[in-house]
């Protein structure tokens, strides 16, 4: 836990005092400022007893400010987003209390990503739930890269070696966690712990609870399914130890022999009968190269690590019941204390393919732009689309710890995100597949369209777009669909004037907005007064069109609102225009 300086403590209190004052009409209260700080800032907890006088002082000074200056100060101090985050935090109260808490002991959680790519939306629920319980209980989080080769046996059998551990994934995972606001206190790699797993494997063998088996896969499966032991089951520990040593010494080939755990052939579920705990792989590992040729299966390594690292709570999908069983089997075998395991149901993502293996292939083939391609649904891709981490967090926390299998709601994610971003956007006109139209009979040359900078803000500011007609005519970009849909009655060009379609041509009709049922977006069609806009959509397609030239004044990273189209994040600004990534 970080130790905070007096100045840092003051800054944190100031932010929360401002937020509290903003929420309650300029009147912050010491008690509620204190409780927000304690519930959301773990680093402040050790100071809880001593900060009350400072909170009092700051609350007093904030309460003397006008609402306007409170709002400005919040913006300057980055407290607007914090305010939103605070709202999300309150939502998390739907989680059931964490079971298995003993006295004042600090619970220990673990995040165990397999580094085959960055975290994606499907991994995020496990992360968020662990992080949320850690936050609520002042728990500790250990980040453990689950980078054993045995962990992905199935895939490794179908592809070559350890390529599945993507070297850059380690950093991308850290980046994704940081983006989600997850703090962890300790970090380790399973690939560095092979000697530990070997020691425990020797112990299990000496306890006569494991044996070396060289049955071929089909033979063993048939025996197992019939509830029968294989001929190696009763191999004396001494012989098994010799073979295990031979495996470590490189005397055997991949697949030639494995070490199996004696869980029993009479177990109801065949998947749990006599599982492999150690196997040979000559695959080169991105971190430890060819230093090791014998790798543990992930359940075995977990059984050991969860004990050795003092993990108290494991929160994972209910589909990982095999891991539960083998871990508990090992804890019992060694007489170790049980950990509390919490499950959640399967979250289905309809319409998208959340596979890191597939993503890796698509990136290699050039179909995807990279690990942040929107089709990967990685944290990086969401950030690049302008999705806020708070929205992801809220969408996943709202599912709570339900054991039901449910479909993830993209609509809900987008609705949550809108709440977080809409206050910060700037609105522009953007017309996909635009068509140039001349509008005639315009009664004067100079026009000013007064448009809202941000239509989602009450009493917001306006900006002006100047338009110049020449000899009663003016060229515009309009969407083909909106012109096609025009009937005899006049239609308003948004914030400008009204036009009418007569015999397939567009004419000026009138100026005032009164009586106009709808308005359509437009872009000044004169060269130099518009820019090319390309919007990358979540499915990887690109929508091209025209936008206002003032979009060019935006910065990369700014989220904009394209009228009649949606929210998008400016990703690239070139000489000719901009590239934006569509959010929703
Ligand atoms: Zn066998």
Residue 150 scores a pLDDT above 80: no
Residues with Cβ within 8 Å of 454's Cβ and at least 6 positions away in sequence, in order, are 422, 423, 425, 426, 427, 460, 461, 561
> What pLDDT, on a 0 to 100 scale, did the predictor assign at position 78?
53
> What pLDDT, on a 0 to 100 scale, did the predictor assign at position 76?
61
Residues with Cβ within 8 Å of 226's Cβ and at least 6 positions away in sequence, in order, are none
- 206 C-alpha to ligand 1 centroid (Å): 18
Residue 395 scores a pLDDT above 80: yes
- 235 C-alpha to ligand 1 centroid (Å): 10
- 320 C-alpha to ligand 1 centroid (Å): 26
pLDDT digits (tens, 9 = 90+) for 1-16: 457 788 878 888 888 8
Residue 154 scores a pLDDT above 50: no
- 213 touches 232 (CB < 8 A): yes
* Range scoring the smallest mean pLDDT among 82-96, 130-144, 404-418: 82-96
pLDDT digits (tens, 9 = 90+) for 281-296: 998 898 999 999 999 9
- 298 C-alpha to ligand 1 centroid (Å): 21
- Euclidean distance between CA atoms 10 and 333, whole angstroms: 51
Strand, coil or helix: 543: strand
Partners of 436 in beta bridges? 477
| Number of CB atoms found within 10 A of residue 4's CB | 16
Cα–Cα nearest to 581, from 386, 389, 418: 386
- 219 C-alpha to ligand 1 centroid (Å): 8
- Euclidean distance between CA atoms 264 and 405, whole angstroms: 31
> What pLDDT, on a 0 to 100 scale, did the predictor assign at position 179?
96
- 51 C-alpha to ligand 1 centroid (Å): 65
106 alpha-carbon distance from chain centroid: 26
- Euclidean distance between CA atoms 582 and 535, whole angstroms: 6
> What pLDDT, on a 0 to 100 scale, did the predictor assign at position 94?
74
Helix and strand element counts for the chain (H, E): 18, 27
Computed over every residue of the chain, the mean pLDDT equals 90
Report residue 134: phi and psi, to 5°: -65, -40
Given pLDDT bands bounded at 50, 70 and 90, which one contains residue 151? Answer: very low
Mean pLDDT of 240-257: 97
Mean pLDDT of 66-80: 73
DSSP structure string for 317-341:
ETT-HHHHHHHHHHHHHHTPPPPEE
pLDDT digits (tens, 9 = 90+) for 30-54: 988 888 887 777 678 788 888 889 9
Given pLDDT bands bounded at 50, 70 and 90, which one contains residue 89? Answer: very low
- 330 C-alpha to ligand 1 centroid (Å): 21
- 217 C-alpha to ligand 1 centroid (Å): 9
Torsion on CA atoms 536, 540, 543, 549, rounded to nearest 10: 10
Q: Spelled out in words, what is the top-level CATH class assigned to the domain 529-582?
A: mainly beta
Cα–Cα nearest to 431, from 521, 535, 497: 521
Given pLDDT bands bounded at 50, 70 and 90, which one contains residue 461? Answer: confident
CATH classification code of 192-301: 3.90.800.10
Mean pLDDT of 519-536: 96
Residue 275 scores a pLDDT above 60: yes
- C-alpha distance from residue 563 to each of 417, 421, 428, 466 (Å): 17, 15, 6, 18
Task: Name the residue with higher pLDDT: 186 or 80.
Answer: 186
- 379 C-alpha to ligand 1 centroid (Å): 44
CATH classification code of 108-190+344-411: 3.40.50.620
> What pLDDT, on a 0 to 100 scale, did the predictor assign at position 86?
46
Given pLDDT bands bounded at 50, 70 and 90, which one contains residue 77? Answer: low
Q: Spelled out in words, what is the top-level CATH class assigned to the domain 433-524?
A: mainly beta
């Amino acid at each position: 836990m970080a130790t905070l300086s007096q100045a840092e403590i003051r800054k944190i209190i100031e932010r929360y005092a401002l937020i509290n004052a903003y929420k309650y009409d300029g009147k912050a209260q010491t008690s509620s400022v204190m409780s927000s700080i304690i519930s959301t800032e773990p680093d402040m907890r050790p100071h809880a007893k001593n900060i009350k006088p400072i909170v009092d002082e700051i609350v007093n000074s904030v309460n003397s400010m006008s609402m306007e200056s409170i709002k400005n100060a919040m913006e300057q101090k980055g407290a607007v987003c914090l305010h939103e985050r605070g709202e999300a935090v309150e939502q998390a109260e739907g989680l059931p209390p964490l079971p298995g808490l003993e006295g004042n002991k600090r619970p220990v959680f673990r995040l165990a990503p397999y580094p085959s790519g960055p975290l994606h939306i499907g991994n995020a629920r496990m992360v968020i739930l662990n992080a949320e319980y850690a936050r609520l209980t002042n728990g500790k989080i250990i980040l453990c890269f689950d980078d054993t080769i045995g962990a992905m046996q199935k895939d490794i059998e179908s592809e070559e070696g350890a390529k599945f551990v993507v070297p850059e994934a380690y950093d991308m995972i850290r980046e994704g966690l940081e983006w989600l606001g997850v703090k962890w206190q300790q970090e380790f790699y399973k690939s560095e712990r092979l000697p530990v797993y070997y020691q425990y494997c020797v112990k299990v063998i000496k306890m006569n609870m494991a044996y070396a088996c060289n049955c071929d896969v089909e033979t063993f499966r048939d025996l197992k399914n019939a509830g029968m032991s294989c001929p190696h089951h009763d191999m004396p520990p001494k012989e098994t130890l010799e073979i295990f040593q031979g495996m470590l010494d490189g005397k055997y080939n991949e697949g030639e022999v494995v070490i199996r755990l004696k869980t029993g052939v009479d177990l109801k579920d065949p998947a749990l009968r006599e599982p492999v705990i150690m196997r040979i792989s000559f695959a080169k590992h991105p971190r430890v190269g060819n230093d090791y040729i014998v790798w543990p299966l992930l359940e075995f390594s977990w059984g050991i690590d969860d004990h050795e690292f003092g993990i108290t709570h494991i929160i994972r999908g209910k589909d990982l019941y095999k891991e539960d069983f083998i871990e508990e089997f090992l804890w019992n075998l060694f007489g170790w204390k049980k950990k509390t395991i919490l499950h959640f149901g399967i979250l289905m993502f309809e319409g998208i393919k959340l596979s890191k293996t597939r993503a890796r292939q698509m990136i290699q083939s050039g179909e995807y732009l990279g690990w942040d391609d929107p089709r990967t649904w990685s944290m990086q891709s969401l950030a690049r689309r302008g999705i806020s981490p708070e929205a992801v967090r809220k969408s996943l926390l709202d599912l709570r710890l339900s054991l039901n299998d449910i479909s993830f709601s993209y609509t809900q994610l987008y609705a949550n995100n809108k709440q977080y971003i809409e206050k910060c956007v700037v609105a522009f006109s953007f017309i996909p597949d635009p068509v140039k139209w001349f509008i005639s009979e315009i009664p004067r040359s100079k026009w000013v369209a007064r448009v809202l900078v941000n239509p989602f803000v009450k009493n917001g500011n306006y900006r002006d777009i100047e338009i110049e007609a020449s000899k009663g005519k003016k060229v515009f970009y309009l969407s083909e669909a909106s012109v096609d849909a025009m009937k005899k009655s006049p239609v308003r060009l948004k914030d400008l004037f009204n036009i009418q379609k007569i015999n397939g041509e567009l004419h000026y009709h009138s100026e005032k907005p009164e009586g106009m049922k709808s308005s359509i977006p437009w872009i000044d069609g004169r060269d130099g007064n518009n820019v090319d806009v390309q919007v990358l959509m979540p499915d990887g397609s690109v929508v091209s069109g025209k936008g206002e030239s003032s979009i060019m004044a935006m910065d990369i990273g700014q989220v904009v609102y394209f009228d009649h189209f949606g929210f998008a994040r400016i990703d690239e600004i070139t000489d000719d225009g901009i590239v934006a990534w569509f959010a929703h």
